A and B are shown apart, each in its own frame.
Chain A
Amino acid sequence: MVTLAASTRHGQRRRTRRPVGTSAGRPGIAWALPATAFFVLFAIVPLILVAVLSFASWNGLGAPTFNGLDNWNKIFDDPVMIKSLWLSVLLTALGVVVQTPLSILLGVWAAGSERNRAVLSAVFFVPLLLSATAVSILWRSLLDPNFGVPSQMQWLFGDGNLFGSQAGAIGVLVFVSAWQYTPLHTLIYQGATRAIPEVLYQAAAIDGAGRVRQFFNVTLPQLRNAIITSMILMIVGGLTTFDTVLILTQGGPGTDTTISAYYMYDKAFKGFDYGAGAAVALLLVVVATVISLVVVRVSGFDRMAGTQEGVS
Chain B
Amino acid sequence: MRQRPNYLAGLASLCWLVLIGLPVYVMLGASFQSQSDFGDTGPLGWPAHFTFHNFVYDFQNGFGRYFLNTLVVTVSVVAIVVVLVPPLAFAIVRGIGRRSTRSVFRLFLLGLAVPAQAVIVPMFYVMSEVGLYDNLIGVILPTAAFCLPVCALILTGTMREIAPELFEAMTVDGASTHRVFFQLVVPLSRGGLSTIVVFSALQAWNGFLFPLVLTQSESSKVITLGLYNFRTQYGTNVPGLLAAVLMSTVPILLVYLFARRALIQGLMGVGGK
A residues near B (Cβ < 8 Å) are 9, 12-13, 16-17, 20-29, 31-32, 34-36, 38-47, 49-50, 52-53, 58, 60, 64, 102, 105-106, 108-110, 112, 117, 120, 122-134, 137-142, 144, 147-149, 151-152, 179, 182, 184, 187-188, 191, 201-202, 205, 211, 214, 229, 233, 236, 240, 242-243, 246-247, 261, 264-265, 268-269, 274, 277-278, 281-282, 284-285, 288-289, 292
- A interface: dominant SS: helix
Residues A281 and B90 in contact, CB atoms below 8 Å apart: no
Point out the residues of chain B lying under 8 angstroms from A125, CB to CB.
Answer: 256, 264, 267
Q: With A28-B91, A35-B84, A129-B253 in contact, do A229 and B231 touch (Cβ < 8 Å)?
A: no
**Interface residue B175 (Cβ < 8 Å from any Cβ of A):** yes
Residues B95 and A32 in contact, CB atoms below 8 Å apart: yes
Residues A281 and B121 in contact, CB atoms below 8 Å apart: yes
Q: With A49-B126, A106-B9 in contact, do A129 and B114 touch (Cβ < 8 Å)?
A: no
Residues B118 and A282 in contact, CB atoms below 8 Å apart: yes
Expressed in whole angstroms, the Cα–Cα distance for A282 and B21 within the complex equals: 39
* Residue in A49, A130, A149, A205 whose Cβ sees the most chain B Cβ within 10 Å: A130
**Would you give the 0/1 interface string for B161-180, flagging 1 where the beta carbon is closer than 8 Å to chain A?**
00011011011100111011
Residues B125 and A179 in contact, CB atoms below 8 Å apart: no
3 closest cross-chain pairs (CB), A and B: A42-B145, A131-B206, A49-B122
Point out the residues of chain A lying under 8 angstroms from B256, CB to CB.
Answer: 125-126, 129
Residues B228 and A129 in contact, CB atoms below 8 Å apart: no
Residues B113 and A236 in contact, CB atoms below 8 Å apart: yes
Residues B120 and A281 in contact, CB atoms below 8 Å apart: yes
Nearest B residue (CB) for A12: B164
Expressed in whole angstroms, the Cα–Cα distance for A53 and B85 within the complex equals: 31
Nearest A residue (CB) for B2: A201
Residues B118 and A284 in contact, CB atoms below 8 Å apart: yes
Quick one: which of B92, B170, B176, B245 contacts A32, CB cutoff 8 A?
A: B92
Expressed in whole angstroms, the Cα–Cα distance for A309 and B12 within the complex equals: 32
**Interface residue B152 (Cβ < 8 Å from any Cβ of A):** yes
Quick one: which of A53, A141, A229 contacts B271, CB cutoff 8 A?
A: A229
- Which of B47-55, B57-65, B101-109 has 4 or more CB atoms under 8 Å from chain A? B101-109
